[in-house]
Every structure is written in C-alpha cells, then in structure tokens.
Amino acid sequence: MSALNNPVIALVVSLIITVGYFVLVDHYLMDMQGLDFWYLFKN
Amino acid sequence: MGLLAGKRVFSIVALCMMVGLLLLPVVVALPSLAIGEETHAGDAAKKDGDKIEKGRDVYYKTEGIVSGAPAPKTTDGVKDYPRYNFESRVLLWFANQQHLYYGSFVLAVPIFCMIIEFMGVVTKDKALAKRYDQLAYDFIKISLTAYSLTAILGGILIFTFLTLYPAFFSYLSGIFRPVMHIYALMFVAESGTLYIYYYGWDKMREGFLKWIHLSMSVVLNVIGTLLMFLANSWIGFMMSPAGVDEQGRYLGNIWHVIHTALWNPLNLHRILGNMAFGGGVVAAYAAYKFLASKTDEDRAHYDWMGYIAMALGVAFLIPLPFAGYWLMREVYAYRQQMGITLMGGLLAWLFIIQATMIGILFLCTNYYLWQAMGRMRGAEKYQRYIKYLVFLLACGFVVFITPHTMVMTPAELKAMGGQQHPVLGNYGVMSAKNGGINVIITTTVLSFVWYMRGNKVSTVSWAKFGNIFMGVFFGCAYFNIIFLAVYGYYIPANVRVGLSVPQVATTLSCLFFMFALNSVMMRGAKQMGAIEWGKISARSQYALIMLATAFTWMMALMGYIRSSVRLFWHVNEIMRDNSPWAYTHTVGFAANMISANVLFFWITILFVFWLGSLTAKKVPVESKAGIPGSVPQPAPSH
Amino acid sequence: MKALMSLGALIGVAGLLLLGGMTFGVIPSTTVRLVEGYMPIQLLLEIASYVIGFTGLSYMLSAMGMALPRFWQGIGFWIFLMLYLKFRVYPPIPFSVRAMYGTVGLVTVFMWVSANEEDWKKFKQPIMNVLDAQTGMNRLLRYVYLVLIPILIGGFSFNAMMPKSEEPIELRTVHPAPPASTKVHGKTYTLQTSQNPYRVNPEGKYDQEYSNANIVEQGMGRLMKPNANPWDEKNQGYLKYVREGGEIFFQNCHFCHGDNLNGRGLHAFAFNPIPANFTDPGTIAQLQETFIFWRVSKGGIGLPNEGFPWASVMPPWEQHLTVDEIWKVVLFEYWHTGYYPRTWD
C-alpha cells in the first residue's frame, strides 16, 4: 500500500488506469452507435 | 405493540386508498380511451353504409381508420383569428410563458422537498436533520401560492387560445380530448396530495408516519411529472405530428398522438430544466434574504439555504446540455430542414445567445463555489490555482460563443478574404463547441470537488495515491475531450456526430467517479477549519441572483425558439398558420419580449414570496430551534 | 520552483516583445506562423503559454521585491488580450467578435481578481485611493478623471452617432434551410430522400461506400487514388461520370469557383459574396448532396430572403444545364475535393 503512495509509482499506475479507461469508453461508445472510431487511421 | 402495528396498517391502507381514489378517474377512463374511439368510428362507418376510410399515419406509417375531422384550412379573418387591435400571437406568448414559468417552478419545488426531506430522515446528525426538515417545509410554504397562480395562468392561457385561435384550438382539443380530461383530473389529484402533504406535515413528523409522508412527496412528484408529460404531448404534436394522416385526420391511436418523435426528448429536457430553474429561483430567494438579513444567525441560515438550492439546481444543470443535444439530434433526424432552421439558418443567432447564457450559468456557478471556499477556514491552499480554472473556463466559453457567421462590415469581410475566418471559423462548428462546453462542465465538477474537500485533509492510508489519481483523471479527461473535439474535424459528419457521446461520457465519468472517490477519501478526514456559514461575500449572492436571472431568460429564449421553428405552421406540415402573424419576429423584438416576460415573472414571484413570509411571522419560536448556534457545519458526507 | 518560474518568465518576456512588435507594426503578424490545420488549437496554446509566462514573470518580480499590484495585473492582462486579438491573429478578426471576446475577457478577469476577499481588497485599493484622494497625486488624478471621463463618453457617443459612409453590416445566412422539395425541369425532387443517380457502383446501384473509396486523398496535394483515374478511357460507371462532370465544371464553373475548386476563380473577387470555397470543410463537406443540387439548379435568386438572393451572382444553372449534367457536376466536386456528402446513416 505504501508503495502506491510513492509519487512516481502513483503517477504511472494512475496513467495506466485512466488512459485505459478512456480508450475503452471512447471505443465502446462509438461501437455502440455503429460508428468507426478509428475511421481516420484506417484510411 | 399491537396498537402500533395496527396504526401502521391503518396508515398504509389510508395512503393506498387515497392514491387509489385520486387516480380512480384516470384508471376508469383508460379502457374507454382504447375502445371508445374505434367503436365510435365503427358506428359512424356503419351509418355511412360500410364506407370505412383508412389513412396512413404521417410518422409511424401505420394504417388506421379515419375518425376525426381534417385540419381546418383557416383564412385570415374574424372567424378563424378573432383579434383585438393587437398582435394575438404576442398575447398568447405572454400567457403561455408565464404559465410555463410557474408550472416549472411548482414541479421543481416538490422534487427539492422530496430530496431534502429524505436527507433529513437519513442524516445521523439530529440537529442537521431537523434543519433539513424545516427547510423542506419552508420551501413548500413559500411556494404554496405559486400553485394557484399556475392554475390561474393556465386558465388565462386556455381562454386566450379559445378566444384568439378558435379554429386551431378546436382542432387540437378534438384530437387530444381524452388527454385534456385526464390532465384536468390529475390537477385534482395533485391538489389533494399537496394539501395533505403540506397541512399534515406536523402531524406526520415522527417514525412510520414520516415514511408515509415521504411516500406522499413521491406520489406528488409522480403526478406533477405526468402532468408535464401530458402537456408536452401537445407541443410535441405541434412540432412533429404523428397519429394523423397528411390531412390531419385522427387515426384512432391515442398513443401515437402522444408519443411523437420529440415527446421523450422534450420530457427529459424539461424535467432537468425545471429542476435547474427551480433551484435557481430558490437560491435567488435565499440570496436576497441573505443580503437583507440583520443578524448573523439569519445570514448563516440563508447562506446554507442558498448553497443547498444552488447545489441541487446545478446538479440537474450538468446533464441539461446533453439532454438538449439529444433533443436537437432528434429534431434533425425528424426533419433536417427544421434542424437547419434552428441552428444553421433563421434562428441561428438565438443559439449563439443561448451559448452565451449557458456560459454565464457555469461561470456564475464556479464563481459562487470559489466564494464559498473563501468562507472555509483551511481552503486557502486552493486559492492560487483558481486563476487556472478561470483560464480554462474562459477558453471554453470563448470557443462556445464564437459564431459561425460573423457580424462584420464589408471592409472586414474583404480583409478576411471570405465569409469565414480561417482560424475562428473552426470554433464556429459543433465539433469545437462540444469540446468547449465539456471543458466548462468538467471545470465546474473540479470546482465542486475542491469545494467538498476544501477545508479537509484526507487521512486514509492511500491518500497520496488518491490525490495523484484524481489529478491524473481530470488531466486525462481534459485531454480526451479536447482530442475528440479536434479529431472531429478530420472525419465525416455522420461519424463526428457520434463523438459527442464519448465526450459526454468523459465529463460524466469525472462527475460520478471523482465525487465518489472524494467521498471515500474524505471519510474520517481531518478538518483544518470550520465552515463559517454566513461569512460569505456579498458578490456570491449576486452571482446566485445572476444565476436565477440567466435561467429564467434562457427558459423563455428556448421556448421562443421551440415555437418559432414551426415557422408558418400551427401543426407542422398539417395545419397552416394563415393569421397575419405567420412570420418570424426579428431577434431584437424577441429579445425584448423575453426580457419583459422575465421581468414580469420576477415581480410576481416576489409577490408570492412576500405572501409566504406573511404567514412566517405568525409561526411560533419552534422554527428557530433548528438553527444551531454551536454546530454550524453540515454533515461531512455533504 | 525558481527554475520553472524563471523559464516561464523568459517565455513571458519573449512573448510580450513579439506582441509589442506586432502592435507597433515593427514586425508583421505572420512572423509567428499560424500553422494550417492546427490554427484553432495553436491559438489556445499560445494564450496558455502567455498565461504561464505571466505567472512566471509575476513570481520573479515579486521575488525581486517589485511585485506588480493585482490591479495592474488585471488591467494589463485584459489589454494584452485585446492587443493579441487585434494584432497577432491574422487575417483580422471582425470588430463584433473582438467585442464579444473582450467582454468575456473582462468578466473572467473580474472573476479572477475577486475570487477571494484579500485579492479583491488589493484590487480595489488603487481605485479607493483615487476616490478618497488623500494624497496630492491622487487628488490630481481624481480631477483628471473628472474631466477625462465625460470627454471620453462624449467622444464615443459622437463617434457612434456620426453618419458613416461605410456600407452597413449585413447578416447573411450562409447555409439557409433548404426547401422540402424543389422542381427542376418539370420534375420534383424531395431533398431529404433524393439521391445522386450517378453515384453508382459497377452493378449500377447507388453506393456511397464505393464512390467514397474512389475519391482523391485528402492531405498533401489531393492526389488521385492509384486505380481511380477518371481520365483513363477504360473506366466506366462512376469514374466516367466524374470525368463528364469535370468537363462540365471546367466549361461553366471554374471561372468563379477556381480550377482548384477553392473559390479563387478568375472572377472571384469581383463579387460580394465571393464564390464558395469547396475545399473548406464548412461548405460541401457538411451538406447533403441534394442541398448542393438545389443550390446549383436554382442559383442565387433561388435562395430564401435570409440568404440575400439579391447579393449572390450564382447563376441558376437549370437554365443552362440538364438535370443529369447538374448531378454529374456535383459528383465531380465531391470527387475532386475528397469530401463525402453528408448522410444520416
């Protein structure tokens, strides 16, 4: 638990969780509407 | 024990009987709605010698038996449009808007009372619970007169319809006959519930009866909401008719007529709007009483009341832009033309004004929260970061209000090299604006979170991680919103429109997760200083008054937009408006009318509040017991 | 911390020098280029850099004992904002928009300086000093304001009421709402549902995905897709129609709309409003194909009043072209600019 309180580790862990969450949210919500999120990059 | 159990059973039975009696007319009427129309049409057809005419529903495309008159083709004259020596439309506009204001207010206040009374029942702090209960009672008391005013204004509205637009109103009421009857009966239900709820407050103060009382507030709100839904069906029909054929003849299915394309978006948008508006009005009332207070006790009480009202109003304000966006999407999907008229054509400038007002709303909210942090001892650590929040709000606001079509002289046009500015033109389209408003809302959430942890230091073992996580979450949220806003420019329109959903989800994630995480982190937190209720600056109260005025103005603006989008139709594409006023007013005239409506409403509501305060003076000292002298802090979980 | 702040101060000073140069005309606004494709975000990032710079500057100044009073900070920031908008951003921003931005700036500066009581007191202090006029300097200032402010107000009022010889401001709706249907050469087309009959795949069916796969690539140079050359005589169907549309375009339209479809034709600047720039993402890229069909057929005089039909010189092409030719020209425009017509699915 105290390792988590180390600022660097906390930052890295937070980034992983947060970025992963937002990527999932973006993809899932666009998929749910039947739209292609990676439209631009696929072309 | 037997006596207590007996009392409980009796109270439950009494409540059920009451609800049953109140809703009995509705329940009895329902079957006849379903059957009645068809048999009537069937009879009529038999009389005509088996000539059953069928028609196709303009929206649902189903077939139905024609059972109503076609929409009247009106002509300009005293038969269809009797008039005074004055524009009838303006008279109707005024009556309608005032009725809507009061209707919205009396729908919002019971929801507040329900929430606050519930908080009073579940709060563990006894003194605070008493204050919440008293507050809920005060809210209902000062708004009691508003109910009769709503009904009076409704009567005036119907009379205006009948006398100035008889052809239109007879057509509409012919189709909505059962709905209007149920509407009237539900008024009876609402009044009955309201009076028992209000006058029975003291009698039902303790224990089990209190839960019955709370249930009554739920019933009251359900009835009120249903009333609004029924009224929404009329305007939904006028904007996006269904259940009739192209000539406007009713096809027998009352549900189709009610459940038009825009009914549910309107329902959602109006519930949220009512709550935000009601919160604003009550907060302004508290602000005024604060500024006029003579004692510290009073100031503490009204400061607290203003905070609660604002918090509830803003809680419902936050999802409101998204409900509005859904409404617009449905309008576009129903009729692209109507959508373009609204935001790309004739009424586009009104939407820029709306964008400005929305920005003002959020700016006022944030400003109030920063002032509120000023009265928390221990919240000084956040003060120096406020300028960065101001900057974020300013950027979001500026992007949000940039018009796509700019007002400019021909010389400026030549200097720009075209109608669009290469830089600012990009702010004028929806992709940027969604980003702007989401940044504003996320910043408001951030201000709220800072407020809630303002004077506390977390003592949980993972506090440092929690703080860093919250910072990273907000940072990534901002980045995601702005990234999606920029990305939208590089993809086709039908994909871009879908990007708003992840943007909304990002903002709402901040709201739900950060609030939840913050509450968990603040459990057992060390308090660095007290919240000094009553020591808030006067500027904050002016911010609350500004908030209420902006809400009121916006409601009238959006109501005007909703009405004018029909252009020269009474009922879109079904019944044409052939009155001499079938044109769109200039923006300036509309703005003046809106301001006049706002002014009139505020004058009359002040009268309502004054009436409420007359009875307050006769209430015995018991009401003062709720105001704590030594424990001015609300429960930590708030 | 000190290192960060001194870096910020450096950015602030550099930025202020640049802006000063642009304000006084010493250097042109284009010195720091607004990069195409990034401009809107670049603007916001530049202002953010200035804010960071000012924070650094004010930290360094107060560390050196020469703290700038909050009063001057607030006024200074607002003046900076107005100068930035007027002199740095090119092409020039219309006055109405700068007025809106300036008002927002004023409100947010007020929110900043009055966010808490101490700051507010510090901000009000200079104003209170002049109003109280306890010292000789303040007394003098008070008299000066007493004379100056009415003169300024009088000057503004005079300026506002003076008749000017400039053309009045016009508020033309660039994208008016289209009618529900339009009648061209005797046939009625419902705009919500009509489709371009030439946007077909090799089987002859209406197919947007097929046509979208064969348009030019957006980005550098708008290059043709490798196997999608309309001028290859072997090509039939969609690409052949694009070529035919191109021929019509260069016989009729390019004089105003430009040979690169960017609204920079031969005659472009003789007109007001100038011809539409099809490469701009705000024109055909966000409109339905039937909207373009309506506009081309009916021309400027077919616009509703809010679109200023008397000002537009767009010819009503139904008088010169057949319906098929109009559809093909629209097909060509989308092919050449690399945009998809807007759809609802």
Average pLDDT over residues B183-210: 89
Cβ of A40 within 8 Å of Cβ of B491? The answer is yes
**A1 lies in a domain?**
no
* Averaged pLDDT, B61-77: 90
Could you give the percent of chain C with pLDDT greater than 90? Answer: 48
Residue C33: predicted pLDDT: 83
Closest CA to B241 of B55, B92, B38: B55
- A24 in reach of chain B (CB within 8 A): no
Buried-exposed string B477-513: b where 16+ CB fall within 10 A, e elsewhere: bbebbbbbbbbbbbbbbebbbbbbbbbbbbbbbbbee
DSSP state string for A18-37: HHHHHHHHHHHHHHHTT--T
Pick B465's closest partner by Cβ from A4, A25, A36: A4
Residue A33 lies in a domain: yes
| Residue A2 is assigned to a structural domain of this protein | no
Give the least confident one: B295-309, B520-534, C289-303: B520-534
Whether A17 maps to a domain, the answer reads yes
Instruction: State the pLDDT at residue B431.
Output: 82
Q: Do B494 and C117 touch (CB under 8 A)?
A: no
Looking at residue B421, what is its pLDDT?
84
User: For B23-32, what is the mean pLDDT?
Assistant: 67
Q: Which has more confidence, B48 or C40?
A: C40
Q: Which of A17, A29, A35 shows the shortest C-beta gap to B505? A: A29
What would the two tokens of residue B4 be? Answer: 């207590």
Chain C residues whose CB is inside 8 A of the B371 CB are 115-116
pTM over 0.90: no
What's the mean pLDDT in B614-628?
A: 48
B44 — pLDDT class (breaks 50, 70, 90) = very low
Task: Give the CA count within 13 Å in the CB-facing half-sphere of B156.
Answer: 17
Q: Domain ranges in chain B? A: 88-351+570-626, 376-531
Nearest to B398 among C95, C104, C282 (CB): C104
- What's the pLDDT at C168? 74
Q: Does B487 sit within 8 Å of A15, measured CB to CB? A: no
Mutation target to probe the B interface, by most B beta carbons within 10 A, among C32, C88, C97, C212 is C97
Name the residue in chain A with its Cα closest to that of B494: A35
User: Which residues make Cβ contacts (< 8 Å) with residue C112, sequence separation at least 6?
Assistant: B386, B387, B390, C74
Question: Among B442, B461, B469, B506, which would you mutate to test the A interface (most chain A Cβ atoms within 10 Å of its Cβ)?
Answer: B469
- What is the Rg, in whole angstroms, of the alpha carbon atoms belonging to chain C? 29
Q: List B residues 483-502 in contact with C (Cβ-Cβ < 8 A).
A: 486, 489, 492-494
Share of chain B above pLDDT 90, in %: 57
Nearest partner of B181 among B385, B296, B30, judged by Cα:
B30
| B133 or B492, which is more confident | B133
Has residue A37 been placed in a domain? yes
Domain that residue A34 falls in = 7-42
- B partners (3+ CB pairs within 8 A) are A, C
CB-CB neighbors (< 8 A) of C285 in chain B: 492-493
Q: How many structural domains does chain A have? A: 1
Considering only residues C162 and B618, tell me which one the structure prediction assigns the higher pLDDT. Answer: C162
Q: Beta B575-576 vs B569-571: how paired, if at all?
A: antiparallel
Contacting B residues, span 523-552, partner chain C, CB-CB under 8 Å: 537, 539
Question: Dihedral, CA atoms, C103, C106, C112, C117, nearest 10 degrees?
Answer: -120
Highest mean pLDDT pick, B142-146, B279-283, C88-92: B279-283
pLDDT reading at B1 higher than 80: no
Q: Could A17 and B469 be called an inter-chain contact, meaning their C-beta atoms sit closer than 8 Å?
A: yes
What's the pLDDT at B625? 39
List the domains of chain C with CATH numbers: 2-113 (no CATH), 181-337 (1.10.760.10)
- For B536-594, write each residue's pLDDT tens digit: 999 999 999 999 999 999 999 999 999 999 999 999 999 999 999 998 898 899 999 99
Which residues in chain C have Cβ-Cβ distances shorter than 8 Å to B376? Answer: none
Q: Kindly state whether B405 is in contact with chain C, defined as any CB-CB distance less than 8 angstroms.
A: yes
3-class SS at A6? coil
Q: Would you say the C-alpha torsion C178, C183, C185, C189 has a positive or negative sign? A: positive
For residue C12, the model assigns a pLDDT of 87
Which residues face B426 on adjacent strands? none
- Chain B: nearest CA to C147, how far in angstroms? 31
The torsion region of residue C127 among left (phi > 0), alpha (psi -120 to 50) and beta comes to: alpha
CA distance C262 to chain B (A): 11
What's the mean pLDDT when you consider all of chain C?
A: 89
pLDDT band at C176 (very low <50, low <70, confident <90, very high): confident
Residues of B in contact with A19 (CB under 8 A): 476
Residue-wise pLDDT for C300-333, tens only, equals: 999 998 888 998 999 999 999 999 999 999 999 9
Q: Say what the pLDDT of residue B545 is.
A: 95
Cα-Cα-Cα-Cα dihedral sign, residues B156, B161, B163, B169: negative
Q: Do A5 and B462 touch (CB under 8 A)?
A: yes
How far is it, in rounded angstroms, from Cα B496 to Cα B501?
Answer: 10
Query: What pLDDT is stored for residue B102 in this prediction?
Result: 95
A2, A9, A14: which to substitute to probe chain B, counting the most B Cβ within 10 Å?
Answer: A14
Q: Between C103 and B30, where is the model more confident?
A: C103
